[in-house]
Amino acid sequence: MKRTHIIAIVIIAAAIGIIIATAGDASTYVDFDQAYQMAESGNKDQIHVVGQLKKDSEGHVAGLQNSPDKLSFSFVLVDDKNKEQNVIYNEPMPPDFLKSEKVVVVGGYQHDQFIAKKILLKCPSKYQENKLVKN
């Protein structure tokens, strides 16, 4: 076998290795029930859950709680299957949090609490202006 062939095989092997590693490290979009089952079965992977903030009948965000020193907060997220879950986040509340349309939490269950390590916010018209601002 020529040395070039050996190199080719090594490259292919490395590429396959990368693909497998990526597939293994890729996270998934799930709902809270699936996330809970994953945690129950000992799976500590961090997952993405997409949801909306819980609102009361008047449209105010409900279930929000700040820690006394404002350095962390918790909130109730409703996933696509309408399951409500208390989510804890160890950072100050992002100031545009209450206005967000959609919230993606990245994290996992610890006991019965969902602990978010990262929060992604989808805010209406964040980068796109489609209404006139009246001066």
Partner 1 sequence: MHYLIGNLGHLFVIISLVAALASAFSYWKSFYSAQELTGKGWAFNGQVAFYIHALSVLGIVTVLFTIIYRHYFEYHYAYSHSSLHLQAQYMLSCFWEGQEGSFLLWMFWQAILGLILIHTQSTWRAPVMMVFAMVQAFLASMILGVVIPGLDFKIGSSPFILLRDAMDDPIFKTNPEFIPKDGHGLNPLLQNYWMVIHPPTLFLGFALTLPPFAFCLAGLWQKKYSEWIKPALPWALVGGAILGLGILMGGYWAYETLSFGGYWNWDPVENAVYVPWIVLIASIHVMMLTKSNGTALKTSMLLVIAVFILILYSTFLTRSGILGDASVHSFTDLGLSGQLLLYLLFFTIASGVLVAVNWKKIPSDEKEVSTYSREFWIFLGATVLCLMGFQVLLPTSIPVYNKIVGFFGGHSNLAPPANQVEFYSKFQLWFAVALALVSGSAQFFWWNKMSKEKWKDLLAPALISLIVFALIIALAKVYQPAYLVLTLSGVYLIVANIRILVSVIKGKISLSGGALAHMGVGMMLIGLMFSSGYSNIVSLNTNGLPISKDMGTDFNRDNLLLFINEPKSMAGYDIEYRSENVEFRNKRGYVRKNDIEPTPDPYRVVANKDIFYRGEKMYRTKDTLDIYPENTYYEIELRKNGKIAATLYPRIQINPSMGGFLASPDIKRNLNRDIYTHVSLTLNREEEPQWSKPEEVNVKIGQRFFINDYVAVLEEVKRIEKVEGLELTAEDIAVKARVRIEGEHESFYAEPIFMIRNKTEVGRMASEINDLGVRVLLASINPKTGEFTLICDSRQKDWVVIKAIEKPYINVLWLGTGVLMVGFGLAAARRVKEFRKSRY
Of residues 77 and 107, the one with the C-beta less far from partner 1:
107
Of residues 25 and 58, the one with the C-beta less far from partner 1:
25
Q: Which of 76, 72, 53 is nearest to 122 (CA)?
A: 53
For residue 92, is it left (φ>0), alpha (ψ between -120 and 50) or beta? Answer: beta
Q: How many residues does the chain have?
A: 135
Query: From residue 46 to residue 85, what is the string marking binding to partner 1 with x (rule CB under 8 A)?
Result: xxx-x--------------xxxxxxxxxx-----------
State which of residues 28, 37, 43, 82 lies at the interface with partner 1 (CB under 8 A).
28
Radius of gyration of the chain (CA): 21
Q: Does 41 bind partner 1 (CB under 8 A)?
A: no
Tokens of residue 68, six digits: 């006394």
Cα–Cα separations (whole angstroms), residue 13 to 3, 4, 8, 21, 24: 15, 14, 9, 12, 16
Per CB under 8 A, residues contacting partner 1 are: 2-4, 7, 11, 14-15, 18-19, 21-22, 25-30, 45-48, 50, 65-74, 88, 90-96, 99, 104, 106-107, 110-113, 115, 117-118, 120, 122-123, 125-133, 135
